């Protein structure tokens, strides 16, 4: 078995992992592991932009209030204040790395700002409707300029390696490395490091309908849970209200920025309906409100989708403001300058995750979690639009401060590395239809029974079925396989079970968690839902 040693090991190549690497580039050798290609991330799919107070009519107080309101009583106020007030500096970081946000065509000395659901002011910086793609590509360019940062593609991390004899109530004080599979050379590898950062993204692939990339299988959450880290608020799955509904389209998001520019939601009869659910904010209500409204319209009418209409705006403006959405929809025969867009909700963002402090640290001293895989306290029960990219760059900065502060002691630490025994890698000899069947089964089960609207009977049914699948996997597919689908299946099974358990513990409706048995908020549940293995 090959063993590699490095100073810092980062798992994941989205905005969180890449920006952390750039912040730590002068500290030592850095390896970034990514399970597919470097740009196969959720970051590259982010259309809307990044929230930041830059306009004189806006203020930190407004952004803080909007974030707290969307979070529905579960945000950590100190974390919200930290992120919002540090946003301008983090935007400067992005600009220094080569990212150029769109300027106002009328006043080029100012940025062009857009409005999204839940925001009281225009504060979304963007680059057309492909902000994430530009950010991802620029960060990759900057990382590749640094000889001491190495990116290894097609590496799936299987397990975190705890330090020998360092456990406290089952949870290790430190982790010393990871076991990984290299799918390029079809061999197992060990990576040892002084610091490990999980930047693995979300878990949208737990659901059959999602805006997430295929890589979003909750890997970091499963890894952290297995070594004893606390996992928080997994019941809060944010469903994006508007994904393109077309038989040939796969997971294509229709940005909230369209509604910010005045797009209107229509039912199957072509009539607006949001005024019935939120008379004041209508289409610009927070995502959980809009998503449940669409869900209700679909159930009442029996229709398969609703429609988003932006055609009242000038054709040239639509093409200039939303080139990516325009071109993609046109490919499917939909001209958004003249036709409404068929849309449905889809699993979009995980508001919970691995519980961290303000520095991105988990329960384990040298293990950090940054980005969507983490639960920082920023989002509470429902993420405010365009706060996700902001959270990632903010906490990569926070983590870099803590790592630099710890570095002297980390360098001097002599880790007790456990014996690195060869772990057996198996091949899937049975027909892969068993794996693909369980993939589809879990994802459809989660959509039907742990989706936008839930009840305890549905959750119990889902829990029973997931336990059965988990037992089947342990019986027939125990251990490690040189097969990405099999290993990802184990991760989505773990995360699905944690989501269900979390949802069953929250006997109220709050934010993105709507439980028909308890349709109102309850004061006694104004706290995090925390799960740990030990």
454 vs 81, 178, 234, 238, 514, CA distance in Å?
32, 37, 14, 14, 6
3-state secondary structure of 162: strand
Angle (CA) 388-390-394 rounded to 5° is: 120
Does the active-site annotation cover 287?
yes
Residues 380 and 353: beta-carbon distance below 8 Å: no
User: Is the backbone of residue 309 left (phi > 0), alpha (psi -120 to 50) or beta?
Assistant: beta
71-75-80 Cα angle (round to 5): 105
Secondary structure E strands in 278-402: 306-309, 341-350, 353-355, 367-369, 374-375
Closest CA to 4 of 458, 350, 420, 391: 420
153 burial class (0-12, 13-18, 19+ CB within 10 angstroms)? middle
Residue 200 in contact with residue 472, Cβ under 8 Å?
A: no
Q: What's the rounded Cα separation, in Å, for the pair 422 and 428?
A: 19
> In 3D, which of 390, 397, 496 has the Cα closest to residue 450?
496
Using the structure block, give the residue that is written with the tokens 């059959």. Answer: 208
* 386: CB partners within 8 A, 6+ apart: 48, 49, 50, 51, 116, 119, 124, 256
| Two structure tokens written together for 124 | 């979304």
Burial of 206 (0-12, 13-18, 19+ CB in 10 A): buried
Dihedral of the alpha carbons of 79, 85, 89, 90, in degrees to the nearest 10:
40
Q: Which two tokens stand for residue 444?
A: 């459809």
DSSP state, 453? Answer: S
Q: Which of 189, 259, 287, 443 is catalytic?
A: 287
Q: How many CB atoms lie within 10 A of CB 158?
A: 21
E strand or H helix at 504: helix 484-505
Q: Are 386 and 373 in contact (CB under 8 A)?
A: no
Beta-bridged to residue 196, according to DSSP, are: 9, 367
Going by the DSSP 8-state scheme, the letter that residue 261 receives in this structure is T
Compute the distance between CA of residue 499 and CA of residue 493 in angstroms, rounded to an integer. Answer: 10
Catalytically active residues are 287
């Amino acid at each position: 078995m090959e063993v590699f040693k490095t100073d810092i090991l980062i798992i994941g190549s989205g905005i969180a992992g890449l920006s952390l690497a750039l912040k730590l580039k002068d500290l030592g050798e850095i390896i970034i592991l990514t399970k597919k290609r470097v740009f196969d991330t959720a970051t590259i799919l982010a259309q809307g932009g990044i929230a930041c107070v830059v306009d004189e009519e806006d203020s930190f107080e407004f952004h803080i209030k909007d974030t707290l309101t969307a979070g529905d009583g579960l945000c950590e106020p100190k974390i919200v204040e930290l992120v919002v007030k540090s946003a301008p500096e983090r935007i400067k970081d992005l600009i220094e790395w080569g990212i150029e946000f769109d300027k106002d065509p009328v006043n080029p000395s100012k940025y062009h700002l857009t409005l999204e659901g839940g925001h009281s002011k225009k504060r979304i910086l963007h680059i057309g409707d492909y902000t994430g793609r530009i950010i991802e590509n620029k960060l990759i360019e900057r990382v590749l300029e640094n000889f001491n940062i190495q990116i290894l593609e097609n590496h799936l991390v299987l397990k975190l390696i705890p330090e020998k004899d360092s456990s406290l109530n089952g949870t290790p004080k430190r982790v010393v490395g990871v076991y990984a599979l290299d799918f390029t050379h079809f061999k197992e590898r060990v990576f040892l490091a002084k610091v490990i950062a999980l930047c693995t993204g979300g878990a949208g692939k737990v659901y059959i309908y999602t805006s997430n990339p295929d890589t979003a299988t909750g890997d970091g959450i499963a890894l952290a849970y297995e070594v004893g880290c606390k996992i928080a608020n997994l019941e809060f799955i944010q469903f994006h209200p508007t994904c393109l509904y077309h038989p040939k389209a796969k997971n294509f998001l229709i940005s909230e920025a369209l509604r910010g520019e005045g797009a209107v939601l229509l039912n199957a009869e072509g009539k607006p309906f949001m005024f019935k659910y939120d008379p004041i904010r209508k289409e610009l209500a927070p995502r959980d409100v809009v998503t449940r409204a669409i869900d209700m319209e679909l159930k009442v009418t029996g229709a398969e989708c609703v429609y988003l209409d932006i055609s009242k705006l000038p054709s040239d403006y639509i093409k200039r403001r939303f080139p990516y959405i325009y071109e993609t929809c046109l490919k499917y025969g939909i001209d958004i300058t003249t036709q409404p867009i068929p849309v449905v909700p889809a699993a979009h963002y995980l508001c919970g995750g691995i519980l961290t402090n303000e520095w991105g640290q988990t329960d384990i001293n040298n293990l950090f979690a940054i980005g969507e895989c983490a639960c920082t306290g920023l989002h509470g029960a429902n993420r405010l639009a365009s706060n996700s990219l902001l959270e990632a760059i903010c906490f990569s900065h926070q983590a870099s401060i803590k790592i630099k502060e710890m570095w002297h002691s980390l360098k001097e630490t002599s880790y007790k590395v456990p014996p690195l025994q060869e772990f057996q890698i198996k091949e899937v000899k049975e027909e892969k239809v068993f794996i693909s069947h369980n993939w589809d089964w879990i994802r459809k089960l989660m959509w039907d029974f742990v989706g936008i609207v839930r009840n305890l009977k549905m959750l119990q049914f889902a829990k029973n079925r997931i336990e059965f699948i988990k037992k089947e996997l342990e019986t027939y597919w125990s251990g490690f396989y040189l097969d990405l689908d099999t290993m990802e299946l184990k991760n989505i099974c773990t995360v699905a079970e944690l989501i269900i358990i979390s949802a069953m513990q929250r006997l109220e409706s709050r934010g993105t968690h709507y439980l028909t048995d308890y349709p109102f908020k309850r004061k006694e549940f104004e706290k995090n839902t925390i799960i740990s293995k030990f």
